[in-house]
């Protein structure tokens, strides 16, 4: 069978998802090609990737690093660009089939919008895009008939469970969570959690922002909002279940009370590859689940008293408008401050909650409103943390 090679633009090629996506591409060179590589700051890693994959275009978002990048790649027949406008332009390139949006945080929003308008298939790994502007993004995707294929392991799992279900309505989405490294900590222990402890995550290999979000369960809050938009359900139909083994990546319950689950070992290359090859499944060298070795899969309710972030996310999406955008911006600042050791582990939730009450609420925000809200909420979060 002769397959047309899919040309892929990777936004965030030097991060955890980006490097694993390149690993998938390198294992299937007959199927996929890295057409454009985009990084924020890690110029040395980007140079290394450019030499290995020989893409058409390489972009560094941080313009101060452009000169060094350009010089380092002088021997390669590669276009070298810099800046955020260049990222928004490259995703419109007629050659590109799939845009993997793996930039962390608010930075992923505008390039994703640009790629949707250009009718590109989106492999979505940037949680924040749908959290900040779910209504806007899903509306644009519908208008432009652009498929959004989820790369998060949980949303990929739901997507796989729905495959072949046609118009059968979802009764409930069961979103699994590892519970993070502090699942069994007391409130007193949580008060004393250090940055080092929080970055030492058990099951997944992720960047520091995602790792902290995982330890505070904010990642589940973000994923719940994302699932609402991706699968067109109400937040009340999404239940978070703590499943420490991280083997079941999520489940879907239907009207007849049948539940379908997707299982695999925790390896992000699986959902990335599925998004790249969809609707086909292609071989991978990921270890299969060994049920005899596992023997026990356990489930428990999240402790919302100790971990307040999922509750804040449910509040934000119930309120709607720009509230999820406010929550997301406050969380990005809270995580930064925690990583700088300026605030404690439990203070992250306090800061998010206070920022949500202090930032101007807009019921029907435009893209400009989202951009304005994001910077306003960040400022408020910073000043609030300084007045403590």
Between CA 32 and CA 41 the distance in angstroms is 25
**Average of per-residue pLDDT across 171-187:** 95
The CATH classification number of 6-150 equals 3.40.50.720
Banded pLDDT at 215 (limits 50, 70, 90):
very high
Whether the per-residue pLDDT at 127 is higher than 90: the answer is no
**Residue 18: is it exposed, middle or buried by C-beta count within 10 angstroms (0-12/13-18/19+)?**
buried
Residue 200: burial class (beta carbons within 10 Å; 0-12, 13-18, 19+): exposed
Rounded average pLDDT over 312-324:
97
CB 313 within 8 A of CB 328: no
Q: Under DSSP, is residue 270 helix (H, G, I), strand (E, B) or coil? A: helix
Residue 203 has pLDDT above 80, yes or no: no
Residue 295 pLDDT class (50, 70, 90 cuts) = confident
**pLDDT score, position 202:** 55
pLDDT mean across residues, the chain: 94
Q: What is the model's pLDDT at position 106?
A: 82
pLDDT at 237 over 90: yes
Looking at the DSSP bridge assignments, the partners of residue 250 are: 262
Cα 278 to Cα 263: distance, rounded to the nearest angstrom = 18
Give domain limits for the chain.
Answer: 6-150, 151-302, 320-388
The region of weakest confidence among 56-60, 160-164, 180-184, 384-388 is 384-388
What is residue 75's predicted lDDT score, i.e. its pLDDT? 95
Give the span between the Cα atoms of 57 and 73, in whole angstroms: 11
Model confidence band, residue 201 (pLDDT cutoffs 50, 70, 90): low
pTM, two decimals, is 0.93
Average pLDDT value for residue range 53-64 = 97
- Give mean pLDDT, residues 46-63: 97
Handedness of CA 257, 263, 268, 272 (dihedral sign): negative
Q: What is the mean pLDDT of residues 224-232?
A: 97
Q: Quick one: which H or E segment has residue 138?
A: helix 127-143
Please tell me the distance from the alpha carbon of residue 299 to that of residue 176, in angstroms, as a whole number: 9
pLDDT of residue 388: 56
Structure-token pair, residue 26: 């390198």
Distance of alpha carbon 42 from alpha carbon 226, whole angstroms: 28
Q: What is the pLDDT of residue 210?
A: 85
Rounded to whole angstroms, what are the CA distances from 25 to 29, 64, 73, 388? 6, 29, 21, 48
Residue 360's SS3 state is coil
Res. 31: pLDDT tops 70? yes
Inform me whether the pLDDT recorded for 205 exceeds 70: no
User: Is pLDDT at 150 greater than 90 in this prediction?
Assistant: yes
CATH class of domain segment(s) 320-388: mainly alpha
When pLDDT is cut at 50, 70 and 90, the band that residue 2 belongs to is low
User: What percent of the chain has pLDDT above 70?
Assistant: 98
């Amino acid at each position: 069978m002769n397959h047309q090679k899919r040309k892929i633009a990777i936004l965030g090629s030097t991060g955890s998802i980006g490097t694993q996506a390149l690993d998938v591409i390198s294992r299937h060179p007959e199927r996929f090609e890295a057409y454009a590589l985009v990084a924020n700051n890690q110029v040395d890693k980007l140079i290394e990737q450019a030499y290995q994959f020989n893409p058409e275009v390489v972009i560094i978002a941080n313009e101060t690093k452009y000169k060094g990048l350009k010089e380092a790649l002088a021997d390669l027949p590669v276009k070298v660009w810099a800046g955020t406008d260049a990222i928004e332009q490259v995703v419109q390139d007629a050659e590109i089939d799939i845009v993997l949006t793996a930039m962390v945080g608010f930075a992923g929003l505008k390039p994703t919008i640009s790629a949707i308008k250009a009718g590109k298939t989106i492999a979505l790994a940037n949680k924040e895009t749908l959290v900040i502007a779910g209504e806007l993004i899903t509306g644009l995707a519908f208008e432009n008939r652009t498929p959004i294929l989820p790369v998060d392991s949980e949303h990929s799992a739901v997507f796989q469970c729905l495959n072949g279900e046609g118009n059968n309505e979802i009764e409930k989405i069961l979103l699994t969570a590892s519970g993070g490294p502090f699942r069994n900590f007391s409130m007193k222990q949580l008060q004393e959690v250090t940055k080092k402890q929080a970055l030492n995550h058990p099951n997944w290999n992720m960047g520091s922002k995602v790792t902290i979000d995982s330890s505070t369960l904010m990642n589940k809050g973000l994923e719940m909002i994302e699932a609402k938009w991706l699968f067109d359900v109400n937040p009340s139909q999404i239940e978070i279940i703590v499943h420490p083994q991280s083997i079941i990546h999520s489940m879907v319950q239907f009207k007849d009370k049948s539940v379908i689950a997707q299982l695999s070992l925790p390896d992000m290359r699986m959902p990335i590859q599925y998004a790249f090859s969809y609707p086909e499944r292609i071989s991978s060298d990921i270890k299969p689940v060994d049920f005899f070795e596992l023997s026990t899969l356990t489930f428990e309710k999240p402790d919302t008293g100790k971990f307040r972030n999922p509750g804040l996310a449910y509040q934000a999406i119930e309120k709607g408008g720009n509230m999820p955008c406010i929550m997301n911006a406050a969380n990005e600042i809270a995580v930064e401050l925690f990583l700088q050791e300026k605030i404690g582990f439990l203070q992250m939730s306090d800061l998010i909650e206070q920022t949500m009450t202090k930032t101007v609420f807009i019921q029907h925000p435009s893209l400009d409103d989202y951009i304005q809200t994001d910077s306003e909420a960040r400022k408020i979060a910073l000043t609030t943390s300084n007045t403590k």
